[in-house]
Amino acid sequence: MNDQSRIGKLKAALEKAPNNPLARYGLANEYYKLGLYEEAIAEIKEYLKITDDQGAVYRMLAECYLNIGNSEMAREAYFKGIEAANRHGHPGMAEEFEEAIDMIED
């Protein structure tokens, strides 16, 4: 299955069930892999409105922001990821995000 067909299937699923977190995350991930960072950011924001992510989506969000040159928003995404990871008992992920924040250059 190619990228466009995966995107089409995910969009079709979201037309039927706009609050489907798995489809929303999948679409964000497909956009991210294609380098469509603005689209990925929009989908991640919609995803976060409907579910409490355990932290991993914040890595993708931060990387999207870094790829479009917005280090401030990348840091904010990592900070929110740290909060989510700690809330869900993932200290290793929180530590990874803290290290990532230290690596961000302005």
User: What does pTM read for this prediction?
Assistant: 0.93
Return the residue matching tokens 């469509």.
Answer: 36
List the CATH number of the domain containing 33. 1.25.40.10
Q: Please give the residue range of the domain that contains residue 37.
A: 1-51
Residues 67, 33 share a domain = no
Per the CB < 8 A criterion, the answer to whether 6 and 22 are in contact is no
Residues belonging to the chain: 106
The predicted structure's pLDDT at residue 41: 98
Tens-of-pLDDT digits for all 106 residues of the chain? Answer: 787 899 999 999 999 999 999 999 999 999 999 999 999 999 999 999 999 999 999 999 999 999 999 999 999 999 999 999 999 999 999 999 999 999 998 7
Q: Which residues contact 6 (CB under 8 A, 6 or more apart)?
A: 26, 30
Asked whether residue 44 falls in the same domain as residue 67, the answer is no
